[in-house]
Amino acid sequence: MIAGLFHVALHGRYELTLATICALLVYRLGIFEGLLVAMALHGLINYIVLNKAHEIQSREIIKKYFERFSGKGGAD
């Protein structure tokens, strides 16, 4: 698992940080809980970036996520 972090490092600082946090959470909490917390953290960060930096309203962000997961495209 640690060796996999080196491959993630090629994608950027955010991805490496999130993967490291995920690895630590999985180690401390277990596979299901660690991944769940890491996904929630990633979703929160994406929400804040889209809402504050790109000035997209909350309703539009949620709508795009539902569209994406229903197979219609959606959030980038």
pLDDT per position as a tens digit, 28-71: 999 999 999 999 999 899 889 888 888 888 888 888 888 887 87
The better pLDDT of the pair 3, 23 is held by 23
SS3 6: helix
Q: Residue 28's pLDDT is what?
A: 95
DSSP 70: T
pLDDT surpasses 90 at 75: no
Biggest alpha carbon distance in the chain?
Answer: 39
What's the pTM? 0.72
The DSSP call for residue 71 is T
Per-residue tokens: 6? 């080196």
